[in-house]
């Protein structure tokens, strides 16, 4: 192993997100991924030893196991590696930087300097990308009653949901999160800068990966009653020059959009559908839940934290 390579340990490397990160890192020549003996993958002492030997650890674990790993890293004091946590556990926790590089100007620089980065949830990635620029531009009040609807491919539910869909146990499509307490709400509300809790209605369909997140809007309920072009402009201005986030015109989409077009990429595409004469709009974000919604974003953050060039 060359001395100059940055070393990475993926805690949970056999899971859906972990495998996706490993595949992506295989194409990054500046890093070497160190693997743990599969028999010891849940052994705290072995994981702690591994953490002590690397520059950065990525946590691709259920929330409780991610918290346990952070506690193990804490025991290493100044020898602790940098951490990217793909779980939900630290996304609004003090001392952690939220890993959505395009959140606002200068945010990628904060990730680059951080020791601990919480990778965003897949749905909040789309919703925050749509909402935050409107709030920042004063086009949406912070207490606007926001509703976010979304559909995900079944890989979003990890190994157990993948098995349910691929063995035919799961229904073709279902709404869920109807208890209105989905785990993504705290980060969605915090990083979109909303003071009123949004209503979030996710759903999952019988396709492996890909995602649409949509926000319906009545234009006369927004300050100054903006037009469709104003909403488009606010988004286009925020993401001008972005490598991964694009704002596309609605023309040519025929009033419909499907979720799989960005699969296996780290891209996020935003469209403002709407009709000025009706005073209505629907903002839509399209992404790969396993790409920009998980492993792709994690690798984007790893590159920033290790000072590597953009992929
Ligand atoms: N799938 C997705 O689209 C996204 C998932 N995430 C998040 O990433 C994390 C992982 O999710 P995902 O990859 O989907 O889940 P999976 O169920 O596919 O994988 C989880 C992995 O963690 C391992 N694991 C479980 N407990 C422990 C433990 N105590 N110590 C070490 N390893 C353990 C599992 O091993 P075993 O199977 O042997 O128990 C498995 O390999 C979750 O927090 C999830 O919320 C984030 C963004 C998107
Ligand atoms: C279809 C499905 O079940 N999706 C998952 C979210 C997947 C995801 O990306 O969530 P994290 O990033 O927070 O792990 C869910 O709704 O809980």
Range of the domain at 108: 6-120+294-305
Residue for token pair 């990525």: 58
Adjacent-strand bridge partners of 213: 150, 285
Distance from Cα 180 to the centre of ligand 2, integer Å: 14
Buried b / exposed e over 258-294, threshold 16 CB at 10 Å, is ebeebbeebbbbbbbbbeeeebebbbbbbbbbbbbbb
Distance CA 25, CA 5 (A): 12
Does residue 282 sit in the same domain as residue 150?
yes
Label residue 4 by pLDDT band (50, 70, 90): confident
What's the CATH code of the domain at 110? 3.40.50.720
Does residue 156 sit in the same domain as residue 226?
yes
Does residue 129 sit in the same domain as residue 266?
yes
Reported as half-sphere exposure (CB side, CA atoms, 13 A), residue 16 has a value of: 20
Q: Which residues line ligand 1 (CB under 6 A)?
A: 12, 14-18, 41-42, 60-63, 65, 86-88, 122, 155-156, 158-159, 289-290, 293-294
Domain membership of residue 311 (yes or no) is no
pLDDT in tens, 192-211: 999 999 999 999 999 999 99
pLDDT of residue 311: 81
Q: Cα 227 from chain centroid?
A: 29
- Give the number of domains in the chain: 2
Distance CA 126, CA 216 (A): 14
pLDDT in tens, 216-225: 999 999 999 9
The mean per-residue pLDDT over the stretch 48-66 comes to: 97
Helices (H), 122-216: 122-136, 158-166, 185-191
Distance from Cα 154 to the centre of ligand 2, integer Å: 9
For the CA of 87, the closest atom of ligand 1 is: 43
- pTM of the shown model: 0.96
Contacts of 182 (CB under 8 A, 6+ apart): 123, 200, 202
pLDDT for 3 beyond 90: no
Strand 211-218, strand 147-153: pairing: antiparallel
Q: Is residue 43 within 8 Å of residue 69, measured between CB atoms?
A: no
Note whether ipTM > 0.90 here: yes
Domain membership of residue 132 (yes or no) is yes
Distance from Cα 223 to the centre of ligand 2, integer Å: 33
Domain membership of residue 139 (yes or no) is yes
Does residue 132 sit in the same domain as residue 246?
yes
Does residue 77 sit in the same domain as residue 126?
no
pLDDT in tens, 223-278: 999 999 999 999 999 999 999 999 998 876 679 999 999 999 999 999 999 999 99
Share of the chain above pLDDT 70, in %: 98
10 Å CB burial of residue 251 (0-12, 13-18, 19+) is: exposed
Domain membership of residue 90 (yes or no) is yes
Known catalytic membership, residue 60: no
Helix (H, G, I), strand (E, B) or coil at 53: coil
Phi-psi region of 43 (alpha: psi -120 to 50; beta: other; left: phi over 0): beta
pLDDT of residue 246: 98
CB of 185 within 6 A of ligand 2: the answer is no
What's the CATH code of the domain at 270? 3.30.360.10
Distance CA 128, CA 186 (A): 12
pLDDT of residue 250: 83
Domain membership of residue 18 (yes or no) is yes
Write the residue with the smallest CA distance to atom 15 of ligand 2: 157
Does residue 90 sit in the same domain as residue 103?
yes
The mean per-residue pLDDT over the stretch 103-128 comes to: 98
pLDDT for 54 beyond 90: yes
Does residue 112 sit in the same domain as residue 252?
no
pLDDT for 1 beyond 60: no
pLDDT of residue 144: 98
Distance from Cα 122 to the centre of ligand 2, integer Å: 6
Write the residue with the smallest CA distance to atom 6 of ligand 2: 156
Does residue 132 sit in the same domain as residue 245?
yes
Q: Which of 8, 65, 122, 204 is catalytic?
A: 122
Domain membership of residue 199 (yes or no) is yes
Domain membership of residue 111 (yes or no) is yes
Distance CA 276, CA 229 (A): 9
Does residue 37 sit in the same domain as residue 108?
yes
Does residue 26 sit in the same domain as residue 131?
no
Does residue 136 sit in the same domain as residue 240?
yes
Domain membership of residue 19 (yes or no) is yes
Does residue 238 sit in the same domain as residue 190?
yes
Nearest CA to 80 out of 12, 5, 9 is that of 9
């Amino acid at each position: 192993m060359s001395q100059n390579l940055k070393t990475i340990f993926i805690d949970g490397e056999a899971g859906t997100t972990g495998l996706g990160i490993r595949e992506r890192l295989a194409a990054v020549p500046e890093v070497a991924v160190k693997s743990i003996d599969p028999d010891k993958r849940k052994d705290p002492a072995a994981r702690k030893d591994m953490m002590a030997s690397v520059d950065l650890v990525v946590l691709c674990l259920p929330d409780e196991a991610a918290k346990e790993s952070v506690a193990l890293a804490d025991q290493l004091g100044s020898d602790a590696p940098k951490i990217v946590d793909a779980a939900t556990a630290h996304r609004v926790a003090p001392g952690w930087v939220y890993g959505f590089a395009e959140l606002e100007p200068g945010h990628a620089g904060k990730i680059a300097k951080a020791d601990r980065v919480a990778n965003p949830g897949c749905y909040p990635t789309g919703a925050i990308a749509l909402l935050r620029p409107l709030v920042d531009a004063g086009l949406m009040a912070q207490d606007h009653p926001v509703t976010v609807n979304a559909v995900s491919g079944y890989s979003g539910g990890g190994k157990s949901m993948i098995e349910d869909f691929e063995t035919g146990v799961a229904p073709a499509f279902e709404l869920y999160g109807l208890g209105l307490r989905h785990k993504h709400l705290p980060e969605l509300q915090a990083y979109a800068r909303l003071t009123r809790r949004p209503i979030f209605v996710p759903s999952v369909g019988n396709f492996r990966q890909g995602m649409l997140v949509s926000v319906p809007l009545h234009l006369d309920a927004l300050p100054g009653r903006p037009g469709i072009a104003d909403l488009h402009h606010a988004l286009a201005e925020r993401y001008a020059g972005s490598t991964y986030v694009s704002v596309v015109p609605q023309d040519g989409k025929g009033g419909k959009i499907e979720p799989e077009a960005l699969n296996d990429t780290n891209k996020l595409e935003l469209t403002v559908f709407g009709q000025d004469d009706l005073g209505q709009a629907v903002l839509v974000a399209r992404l790969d839940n396993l790409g920009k919604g998980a492993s792709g974003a994690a690798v984007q953050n790893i590159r920033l934290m290790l000072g590597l060039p953009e992929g």
